[in-house]
Amino acid sequence: MYEKKEKKSVETGNGLTSLAELGEFGLIERLTRNVKRYHPETLKGIGDDAAVIDAGNKVILLSTDLLVEGIHFDLTYMPFKHLGYKAAVVNISDIAAMNGVPKQMTVSIAVSSRFSAEALDELYAGVVMACDKYKVDLVGGDTSSNIKGLMISVSIMGEAKKEEVIYRSGARPGDLLCVTGDLGSAYIGLLILEREKSVFQVDPNMQPELSGFDYQIGRQLRPEARTDIRNLLIGTGIRPTSMIDISDGLASEILHICKQSGVGCKLFEEKIPMDEYTRELAKEYKIIPSVAALSGGEDYELLFTVKQEDYDKIKDIAGITIIGHMTATTEGKFMITPDGKAIPLTAQGWDGMKGR
C-alpha cells in the first residue's frame, strides 16, 4: 500500500529531481502531496498498510503491490510457483497488518515473449496455492505484453469490524513494542541465493550448495502471512494500539509507527528474536546479526504495540517477543545495546527506487 515519508528532494545536474536520491517514500510523498479525499466513506487513504473504506457495519481494506523482475525478484533462483505464492502472500500480509481478514484478490501481469505459457501456468499455480491456504478468492486481473521481463501487480480486499482495525497511528508513550516470530532469516536466505548465483555465473556446471539452508531460503522464497495473530490476540483479550508488517526491515517499520503515532522508542538489541543458525550465518557473512533483522526486510512478521497493562497477558505467548517500548517523541528513537549504549535508530532497509 502507498506510504508517505518526509524527505527533501535532491536535484540532478540538469535541474531535475533524481528518483534514486528522492527514494521510494520520498517519491510517494511528492506524487501524493496534492491528493484530496472527496468521500466520507474513505476513513484512511495513503499512509498505512491498507486503505480503509466504510461499508456500514464493517470496513473494507484495500491494498496493492507491484513486483518487477530485476528489482523485486530474480528468476535465476526464484521458481515461478514460489513467485506466484510470494506475490499473493505479501498482499495478504498487508491485510493481516490491519487486523483484518483477507477476502478477494486480483492479479495482473505484463509479460514479454521470452516467457512460455507453461511458465505462467506455474506462476498462477503459486497464486492459487496461496489463495487456497488463506481462503482468498482470486476474482480477476489483467494481462498485457511487455517489451522486456515480467511485472506482477496484485491487489487485495479484506474486511474487519470498525473497532477491530489497527492503524500505525495508535501507539502511545509507555506502550510495549512486540514482534511475532523471528527476524533476519529472509535476508540471509537472499545472501545465500545471491552467492550461489555468482558461483553459477562463473561456472554453469557447478551445482548450487543449498543443503542445510532450508529455513533461510524458505523465508526468502516462500514467506507466510501472519493471519493467525488476529485470532490469537482476540483470544487472549489483547487489542494492539498500532500494527505494521515487516517488509522493509525492523528499523524502518518501527520508524513508520513512530512517525504515524508521534512517539519515540527504545528498542533493546538483545531482545530481537532471531533463529540461532541465522545468527551464525550472519557472522559468516561478516554482518552483525541484529543488522540483518533491522535492515534486511521481507520477514513479513507483524510488529505491534500494546498497552502496558497487557504485559501479563502477552509475556508468555509463544512466538511473540517484547522488544522494547514507546517513549515521548522528545526522547528520540534509539536501539539500546547489551552494554547500555543508545544508538539512533535509522532506516536502511529496502527502497524500491534505490535497491538496498
Q: What is the average pLDDT across 41-61? A: 92
Q: Using the predicted structure, report yes or no on whether residue 316 has a pLDDT greater than 50.
A: yes
The pLDDT value given to residue 207? 74
Confidence of residue 353 (pLDDT cuts 50, 70, 90): very low
**Is residue 220 located within the same domain as residue 255?**
yes
Confidence of residue 25 (pLDDT cuts 50, 70, 90): low
Q: Is the residue at 171 inside a domain?
A: no
Q: Using the predicted structure, report yes or no on whether residue 98 has a pLDDT greater than 90.
A: yes
- Residue 343 C-beta-side C-alpha neighbours within 13 Å: 16
Distance (Å, rounded) from C-alpha 205 to C-alpha 186? Answer: 27
Residues whose CB is less than 8 angstroms from the CB of residue 154 and which lie 6 or more positions away in sequence, other chains included: 64, 65, 67, 87, 88, 90, 91, 105, 106, 107, 108
Identity of residue 239: R
Q: Using the predicted structure, report yes or no on whether residue 227 has a pLDDT greater than 60.
A: yes
Domain housing 8 = 1-36
Highest mean pLDDT: which range of 38-42, 202-206, 264-268? 264-268
**Is residue 24 located within the same domain as residue 55?**
no
Q: Using the predicted structure, report yes or no on whether residue 313 has a pLDDT greater than 90.
A: yes
**Is residue 79 located within the same domain as residue 120?**
yes
Distance (Å, rounded) from C-alpha 57 to C-alpha 82? Answer: 37
Q: Using the predicted structure, report yes or no on whether residue 205 has a pLDDT greater than 60.
A: yes
**Is residue 229 located within the same domain as residue 334?**
yes
Q: Is the residue at 350 inside a domain?
A: no
Confidence of residue 193 (pLDDT cuts 50, 70, 90): very high
Residue 308 near residue 241, CB atoms below 8 Å: no
Residues whose CB is less than 8 angstroms from the CB of residue 86 and which lie 6 or more positions away in sequence, other chains included: 73, 126, 221, 222, 223
Confidence of residue 10 (pLDDT cuts 50, 70, 90): very low
**Is residue 261 located within the same domain as residue 315?**
yes
Which of 143, 164, 185 corresponds to the end of one domain? Answer: 164
Q: What is the average pLDDT across 336-349? A: 91
- Edge-first strand order for the sheet with 176-180 is 242-245, 302-306, 176-180, 320-328, 263-268, 333-336, 342-344
Which of 164, 196, 217 corresponds to the end of one domain? Answer: 164
**Is residue 136 located within the same domain as residue 274?**
no
- Angle at the Cα of 27 (from 328 to 255), degrees rounded to 5? 20
Q: Using the predicted structure, report yes or no on whether residue 158 has a pLDDT greater than 60.
A: yes
Q: Using the predicted structure, report yes or no on whether residue 6 has a pLDDT greater than 60.
A: no
- CATH code, 152: 3.30.1330.10
The pLDDT value given to residue 349? 57
Task: Give the 3-state secondary structure of residue 228.
Answer: helix
The pLDDT value given to residue 7? 36
What nine digits make up the cell of 275? 533463529
Q: Is the residue at 356 inside a domain?
A: no
Radius of gyration of the chain (CA): 20
**Is residue 252 located within the same domain as residue 335?**
yes
Number of folded domains in the chain? 3
Confidence of residue 83 (pLDDT cuts 50, 70, 90): very high
- CATH code, 302: 3.90.650.10
Q: Give pTM, 2 decimals.
A: 0.90
Identity of residue 288: I
Residue range 118-139, pLDDT digits in tens: 999 999 999 999 999 999 999 9
Sequential DSSP letters for 40-58:
TTEEE-TTSSSEEEE-SSS
Q: Is the residue at 319 inside a domain?
A: yes
**Is residue 131 located within the same domain as residue 211?**
no
**Is residue 193 located within the same domain as residue 106?**
no
